[in-house]
């Protein structure tokens, strides 16, 4: 899947108009500074640090995990929900994520392999997970992703791992939107997110987005301020996508490879 296709999938996952960013933005040096990754923190001896790391991991990966169970393994929704919950419970309490070696594979590739191994072991052992059976239940909107699966391509016969990667992109973008919303809420920047949400996030029919003047009139703003607010929010969204991506990679090399593939081809 090319970087441009990945970028367009992410935009559409969040209802963004592709014309908003006709080409993937090249980071050109604007990478977030190095910080401890979720991959590293989830192996920490401190249970509170592991729990925080799990929350960050789940925010992006629960969608691809659930979709992978539905599309590749063909589980019914209820079983997919239980397996998703149990998989992440084992991710923080078990050992399988602790075996990750960044020299062998990207983390998302390794996590997908862990998921397939987890399912294969459950099937081999004849495991029938009971709802809430000992696992800490995460608050996940399974109804939402089921509606999205039904409204999108449908559950077609496809064992390709591309479905996992596609939902990973959707999860990454959706988490960045949530980060932006949280950062703006109850601050003077809240109006900026409101403009962003009104123009870029709300579903539209036939590709028709509201005119800037319409939004300006609805919110009591000058048209120029709508333009400025939208430009700021889009820049922040790009930055937050990269921050999320940085936290979910183990090394600078892995992060740069993922960022260049997602956001723009590497330039010499």
Residue 87: the pLDDT is 93
d(CA 223, CA 8): 27
Give the residue carrying structure tokens 């109850």: 186
Residues 128-146 pLDDT 10s: 555 444 455 688 999 988 9
What does the block give as tokens for 165? 């990667």
Give the residue carrying structure tokens 């990269």: 242
Residues 161-184 pLDDT 10s: 778 888 999 899 999 999 999 999
Instruction: Kindly give the interhelix angle for 3-13 and 252-263, rounded to the nearest 10 degrees.
Output: 80
State percent of the chain over pLDDT 70.
Answer: 75
- Which candidate, 179, 187, 174, places its Cα nearest to that of 243? 179
- Give buried/exposed letters for 73-92 (b at 16+ CB in 10 A, else e): bebeeebbbbbbbbbbbebb
Residues 214-267 pLDDT 10s: 999 999 999 999 999 999 999 999 999 999 999 999 888 999 999 988 876 454
Residue 3: the pLDDT is 53
Residues 6+ apart with CB under 8 A from 138: 58, 62, 85, 88
Instruction: Kindly give the interhelix angle for 47-71 and 107-124, rounded to the nearest 10 degrees.
Output: 70
In this prediction the pTM is 0.82
Average pLDDT over residues 73-85: 92
Residue 231: the pLDDT is 96
Contact 244/176 with Cβ under 8 angstroms?
A: yes
Tell me: pLDDT of 24 over 70: no
């Amino acid at each position: 899947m090319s970087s441009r296709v990945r970028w367009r999938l992410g935009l559409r996952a969040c209802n963004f108009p592709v014309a908003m960013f006709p080409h993937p933005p090249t980071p050109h040096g604007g990478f977030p500074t190095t910080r401890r990754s979720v991959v590293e923190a989830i192996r920490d001896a401190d249970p509170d640090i592991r729990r925080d790391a799990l929350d960050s991991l789940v925010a992006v990966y629960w969608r691809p995990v659930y979709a992978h169970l539905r599309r590749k393994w063909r589980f019914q929704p209820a079983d997919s929900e239980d397996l998703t919950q149990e998989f992440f419970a084992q991710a923080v309490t078990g050992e399988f994520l602790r075996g990750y070696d960044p020299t062998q594979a990207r983390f998302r590739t390794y996590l997908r392999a862990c998921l397939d191994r987890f399912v294969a072991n459950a099937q081999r052992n004849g495991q029938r997970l009971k709802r809430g059976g000992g696992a800490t239940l995460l608050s996940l909107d399974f109804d939402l992703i089921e509606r999205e699966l039904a409204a999108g391509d449908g559950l077609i016969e496809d064992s390709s791992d591309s479905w996992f990667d596609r939902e990973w992109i959707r999860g990454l973008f959706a988490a960045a939107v949530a980060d932006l919303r949280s950062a703006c809420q109850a601050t003077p920047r809240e109006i900026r997110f409101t403009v962003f949400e009104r123009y870029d996030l709300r579903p539209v029919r036939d590709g028709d987005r509201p005119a800037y003047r319409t939004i300006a009139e609805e919110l009591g703003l000058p048209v120029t301020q709508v333009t400025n607010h939208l430009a700021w929010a889009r820049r922040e969204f790009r930055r937050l996508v990269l921050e999320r991506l940085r936290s979910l990679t183990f090394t600078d090399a892995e992060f740069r490879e993922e960022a260049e593939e997602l956001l723009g081809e590497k330039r010499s």
